[in-house]
Amino acid sequence: MTLKLYNTLARKKEVFKPIKDGEVGLYSCGPTVYNYAHIGNLRTYVFNDVLRRTLKYNGYNLKHVMNITDVGHLTSDADSGEDKMLKGAKREKKTVYELAEFYTKAFMVDLEKLNIETPEIIPKATDHIKEMIEIIRKIEKNGYAYSAGGNIYFDTSKFKDYGRLARLENDDSEKKSRVDADKNKRNPNDFVLWFTKSKFDEQEMKWDSPFGKGYPGWHIECSAMSSKYLGEQFDIHTGGIDHIQVHHTNEIAQSEAAFNKHPWVKYWLHGEFLVIDKDKMAKSGDNFLKLQTLVDKGFDPIVYRYFCLTAHYKQQLKFSFDGLESSRNSFNALKNKVIEIKKDDDGEIHKRLDHRYTEEFKELINDDLNMPKVLALMYHVLKDEKISNKDKYSILLDFDRVLGLGFKNMKEEIAEVNGEIEALIKERDNAKKQKDFAKADKIRNELKHKGIVLEDSKDGTKWKKI
Ligand SMILES: [Zn+2]
């Protein structure tokens, strides 16, 4: 069966053909570890995960690389503003290295909570300075770089296809030139490959190089780490759509200039934004929600994964707590159903797979990862009265290889959770006895936020999950 993916480079769905039969090289831009990931970032990693699971479901031998950006780059998506890592380190009174280590760990914990599979290779930018320097030397040798004001720049006028990915028009360059204050640039789209003149006095991270002591521009790390682990030409590169115009456009220019491979990457896939009140969610903005914020409000992280799967990765997804709550209700109902059908399971999965449904499932994931339709198909299977619970469970476990909702490990609420709820109910009963109704109501609301409703009767208080 053919796998079709929407390739930003071609602006259409294309049949996926790997460079090497049966093998896929996949690179995903990873986080800049100066703060927690916000849930908009995490949506992109759920999309990456669905892609990697789909490739594996299709039988490909996958090598997935996701970098960790632990060397400072500038605060805006364009090449300007303050240094993110340095700003974070000042805020938290840590060295930039401590900051990076702390937030890398926090990021990996988030991925685990969302049931996101760990990529095969997770390289850190600071471990690959030598490789970055080598590529910059190649770019220089091939005539695409110049030195100005102490920094090495990429000369975009020498690169004929610059802006192909983003379909950049001349108008965009003119707009950019008005906001860009860097007088060293020969062309508005030029960008720094290596800095020796930092705008920041206290820049901690500096390395010796043939261009002088300094540090790399942001974009070069992705070219260095992808080529080291996947070769100078590879199959798929992913990221959020905010990377198309600057970061990925510059990655292509510098990599093709260095390696002389066209196209450097065959398929570019981009995940859309999560939006709150029509604004893109950004770490620097006011609407910064992290996964722990959702947990604090009583949401299981896997409910957020389910919420992400309700929209196609190329559609904007509007976030609201009401929307998340409705996903929680659907997910809890699904969970109860899975626990119910699982009781009939005898472990003989493969003999019983209903191929009509698995073929349909494969068609949907292979049609550019159509997860909303996969969820609809899953509910259809659950409602089908012609198939037994055993067979339903087998089919769902097969779907879960891509959905990643953890059907296999679903079980009734564990005693500890029950214990916590019972304790709160007792506290509420005591408050009621003491006529502290404000406190009693507060506890009721607190439980409601955790997805628990209380029913008072003459035999005492009972609770159930919404
Ligand atoms: Zn990147």
For 218, the token pair is: 């942001």
Query: How high is the pLDDT of residue 447?
Result: 82
Distance 267 CA to ligand 1 centre (A): 14
Q: Fill in the amino acid letter for 158.
A: K
Distance 294 CA to ligand 1 centre (A): 28
Strands (E), 301-451: 317-318
What pTM was estimated for this model as a whole? 0.86
Q: What is the mean pLDDT of residues 291-310?
A: 96
Work out whether the CA dihedral 390, 396, 399, 401 comes out positive or negative: negative
444's CB contacts (< 8 A; 6+ apart) are 428, 454
**Is residue 447 within 8 Å of 454, Cβ to Cβ?**
yes
Distance 30 CA to ligand 1 centre (A): 7
Q: Which of 305, 304, 314, 307 is nearest to 370 (CA)?
A: 314
> 3-state DSSP call for residue 52?
helix
β partners of residue 66? 28
Q: How confident is the model at residue 403 (pLDDT cuts 50, 70, 90)?
A: very high
CA torsion 259-260-263-268 (nearest 10°) is 30
Query: What are the pLDDT digits (tens) for 325-363?
Result: 999 999 999 999 999 999 888 777 666 676 799 999 999
Distance 192 CA to ligand 1 centre (A): 15
Distance 166 CA to ligand 1 centre (A): 15
Q: Is it the case that residue 2 has pLDDT exceeding 90?
A: yes
CA torsion 285-290-296-301 (nearest 10°) is 150
Radius of gyration of the chain, Cα coordinates, nearest whole angstrom = 25
Distance 5 CA to ligand 1 centre (A): 20
Q: Which of 374, 392, 393 is nearest to 384 (CA)?
A: 392
β partners of residue 27? 65, 237
Query: How high is the pLDDT of residue 199?
Result: 66
Distance 269 CA to ligand 1 centre (A): 13
Q: Which of 31, 78, 69, 82 is nearest to 192 (CA)?
A: 78
Pairing status of strand 151-154 against strand 145-148: antiparallel
The tokens 């480079």 sit on which residue?
9
Query: How high is the pLDDT of residue 77?
Result: 42
Catalogue all structural domains in the chain, each as residue range(s) with its CATH number.
4-271 (3.40.50.620), 284-409 (1.20.120.1910), 415-465 (no CATH)
Average of per-residue pLDDT values in the chain: 89
Distance 220 CA to ligand 1 centre (A): 8
Q: Is it the case that residue 379 has pLDDT exceeding 80?
A: yes
Distance 295 CA to ligand 1 centre (A): 29
Instruction: Give 287: exposed, middle or buried? Use CB within 10 Å, 0-12, 13-18, 19+.
Output: middle
Distance 107 CA to ligand 1 centre (A): 17
Q: Is it the case that residue 449 has pLDDT exceeding 50?
A: yes
Query: What are the pLDDT digits (tens) for 8-28?
Result: 999 999 999 999 999 999 999
Distance 196 CA to ligand 1 centre (A): 22
Gap between the Cα atoms of 288 and 281, Å rounded: 7
Query: How high is the pLDDT of residue 171?
Result: 47
Q: Is it the case that residue 6 has pLDDT exceeding 70?
A: yes
Distance 27 CA to ligand 1 centre (A): 8
Distance 113 CA to ligand 1 centre (A): 24
Q: Is it the case that residue 465 has pLDDT exceeding 90?
A: no
Q: How confident is the model at residue 429 (pLDDT cuts 50, 70, 90)?
A: confident
Q: What b/e readout covers 20-42, taking b as 16+ CB neighbours within 10 angstroms? A: eeeebbbbbbbbbbbbbbbbbbb
For 283, the token pair is: 């770490």
Residue 27: CA count within 13 A, CB half-sphere: 27
Distance 250 CA to ligand 1 centre (A): 9
Distance 139 CA to ligand 1 centre (A): 18
Q: What is the DSSP string of 77-99?
A: SSS-S-BHHHHHHHHHT--HHHH
Gap between the Cα atoms of 267 and 234, Å rounded: 9
Distance 274 CA to ligand 1 centre (A): 19
Query: What are the pLDDT digits (tens) for 169-222?
Result: 644 554 454 455 688 999 999 999 999 886 666 667 889 999 999 999 889 999
Distance 444 CA to ligand 1 centre (A): 46
**Is residue 188 within 8 Å of 176, Cβ to Cβ?**
yes
**Is residue 19 within 8 Å of 261, Cβ to Cβ?**
no
State phi, psi for 54 to the nearest 5 degrees: -65, -40
Query: What proportion of the chain, given as a percentage, has pLDDT over 90?
Result: 67
Query: What are the pLDDT digits (tens) for 323-334?
Result: 999 999 999 999
Gap between the Cα atoms of 172 and 170, Å rounded: 5
Query: How high is the pLDDT of residue 71?
Result: 82
Query: Looking at per-residue confidence, does 52 or 285 come out higher?
Result: 52
For 25, the token pair is: 């090289």
Query: What are the pLDDT digits (tens) for 120-179?
Result: 999 999 999 999 999 999 999 999 999 999 999 999 999 988 988 998 764 455 445 445
Gap between the Cα atoms of 314 and 235, Å rounded: 19
Distance 123 CA to ligand 1 centre (A): 12
Q: How confident is the model at residue 53 (pLDDT cuts 50, 70, 90)?
A: very high
Q: Which of 271, 381, 255 is nearest to 315 (CA)?
A: 271
Distance 319 CA to ligand 1 centre (A): 25
Determine the Cα angle at 80 with ends 265 and 71, to 5°: 65
Q: Which of 196, 76, 202, 70 is nearest to 136 (CA)?
A: 196
Q: What is the helix (H) or strand (E) element at residue 271, kind and residue range?
A: strand 265-271
Q: What is the helix (H) or strand (E) element at residue 24, kind and residue range?
A: strand 23-28
Q: Which of 194, 221, 206, 309 is nearest to 31 (CA)?
A: 221
Q: Fill in the amino acid letter for 289.
A: L
Determine the Cα angle at 130 with ends 128 and 136, to 5°: 105
Query: How high is the pLDDT of residue 415?
Result: 45
Query: Looking at per-residue confidence, does 426 or 315 come out higher?
Result: 315
In Å, how far are 20, 125, 330, 419 from 122, measured between CA atoms? Answer: 22, 10, 34, 39
